[in-house]
Amino acid sequence: MKGIILAGGTGSRLYPLTKVTNKHLLPIGRYPMIYYPVSKLKEAGIREIAVITGKEHMGAVVNLLGSGYDLGAEFTYRIQDRPGGIAQALGLCRNFVGNDKCVVILGDNIFNESIAYFVEKFKSQDCGARIIIHEVKDPQRFGVAEFNKDRIVSIEEKPKFPKSNFCVTGIYMYDSWVFEAVNTLKPSGRGELEITDVNNWYIKNSCLYYDVFKDWWTDAGTFDSLRTASELAKDMNLADILNRN
């Protein structure tokens, strides 16, 4: 099982902080933001991790994470040269994942719950994808799940009129067919390859499953959510996980 942390993007909503550094290096609680997804992957037993970032602050990311030796992980780096969307960034990992399965985490997702149990469930799947959803008060900001009984039948990106209050968090689990899905995509109205379209591809092929976060979860991509993440994570201690070799 491989891990992928998507830490690219311009971070424009956090400007001017992101003028001088990558968004995912900003502090959340006691640690740089990117330490949180690293710790969650390690907690789930995943140590081979690809980090995708932009070229502007690539040096700062590598300087912080290094080879992964100090954090008990093995990092591989890929550069997203242009803002082509989350799915386009994921596509850069085809050779890294190979025929394996992968767990993808958006680098600005901060949450308390362990994903180890969900990853074990995904390992037992013969194929397909697994996502984690969470009930939120502002679903218009996210990809939103539409249900038919206990099945997700579609996901709509940032809808004006959400069909539920359950957003798709930035934690995705895919088999190696995900790269075939990426190859079928066309750019959205904002010129990007959307991860929502990848998930809808799996829905159309009747092989997308989901779990629900019960504990707190937030993104940290705006000043408001950055402040919320810092408050929620202020007492989190990642030392035991990150120092576990």
Looking at every residue in the chain, the average pLDDT score rounds to 94
Model pLDDT for residues 224-242, shown as the tens digit of each residue = 999 999 999 999 999 989 9
Predicted confidence (pLDDT) at residue 110 exceeds the cutoff of 90? yes
Model pLDDT for residues 35-62, shown as the tens digit of each residue = 999 999 999 999 999 999 998 889 999 9
Question: End-to-end alpha-carbon separation of the chain, Å?
Answer: 17
- What is the CATH architecture of 2-235? Alpha-Beta Complex (3.90)
Model pLDDT for residues 117-129, shown as the tens digit of each residue = 999 999 999 889 9
Domain regions of the chain by residue span: 2-235
pLDDT greater at residue 244 or residue 31? 31
Cβ(182)–Cβ(200) below 8 Å: no
Cis-peptide, bond into residue 32, ω within 30° of zero: no
pTM: 0.95
Q: What percentage of the chain carries pLDDT values higher than 90?
A: 84
DSSP label at residue 16: T
